[in-house]
Structure 1
């Protein structure tokens, strides 16, 4: 019984840790264009970060709401199935199992959506920076295969 109480005590922290968030910044590297001074590059970078943030605005909250609704639905489903199978005590067990499963599934869903939101942010940021004639680093620069 103590294990169940401990599991429910940590469940809210686990669920909050798995929520999707709006990206704090790009994970893509962009370099100043040829002959561009660093001050201008920083101004363009700040503007493009704001544009990228606007491009993904509200998506994290939307994904987290979907996960929450899924968790609530599985809790209700678990309670209904538990009541149908085990009577009154089965409803409580079914609701707890549904809440745990739905919470874990919802947090996994939100966490998986984080990568897509970051990709959209990066795409908007890079497109903006390239429009200002900044450049992407060359992949594998300096690598010459042996022949």
Structure 2
């Protein structure tokens, strides 16, 4: 009876890892550069996808996410087995390993999401840099923040109303 339920935690890890769906390419918009033909754009786009893929270590964002989840489950299992063995010997090691697998899998869900999105972000940055360097256009949001722009003005702001004027030069 015990052997029948032995692989339930592993099945839970496999099923939850399948819930993560990361894009397999760039998630940003890039437009052909001025005067570039569509075939030139496609060739550059293919080269930049390869560059970005190599930039993040030759793994897709989905692969990075799955690896993070598996690592968390394995580490949790090993720590649980070690603690269980220290507390109750051989029987405790089995219970600790099962408990560690469950806790490691649960914590791995967060690691999966963070790892996948971080890999996608780095991929997108490398892809955009490559496409921009190849002469293509990258649309960006044009938000204007007057508070930030005021810090970089070359002329000082006017004095508040009611302030006496400064003395003329050379008079103390």
The two structures have a TM-score, normalised by structure 1, of 0.70
Following superposition of structure 1 onto structure 2, how do residues 1-147 of structure 1 map, counting pairs within 5 Å?
5=5, 7-8=8-9, 10-14=11-15, 16-17=17-18, 24-58=24-58, 68-86=70-88, 88-139=90-141
| Alpha-carbon distance between aligned partners in 2 of 1:46 and 1:58, rounded to the nearest angstrom | 15
Greater relative contact order structure (CA < 8 Å, 6+ sep):
1
Shift of 1:84: 4.1
Partner-residue secondary structure (3-state), 2:27: coil
- Checking the alignment, whether the CA contact within 8 Å between 1:75 and 1:95 is kept in structure 2 is yes
| Alpha-carbon distance between aligned partners in 2 of 1:42 and 1:59, rounded to the nearest angstrom | 22
- Checking the alignment, whether the CA contact within 8 Å between 2:17 and 2:66 is kept in structure 1 is no
Shift of 1:131: 1.1
Aligned length: 139
| Alpha-carbon distance between aligned partners in 1 of 2:98 and 2:86, rounded to the nearest angstrom | 15
| Alpha-carbon distance between aligned partners in 2 of 1:128 and 1:16, rounded to the nearest angstrom | 31
Q: Tell me, which stretches of 5 or more residues in structure 1 are unaligned?
A: 142-147
Tell which structure's C-alpha radius of gyration is larger.
Answer: 2
**Which has the larger displacement, 39-48 or 77-86?**
77-86
Greater per-residue helix proportion: 1
Shift of 1:48: 1.0
- Checking the alignment, whether the CA contact within 8 Å between 1:20 and 1:110 is kept in structure 2 is no
- Checking the alignment, whether the CA contact within 8 Å between 2:64 and 2:116 is kept in structure 1 is no
Cα RMSD for the two superposed structures: 3.5
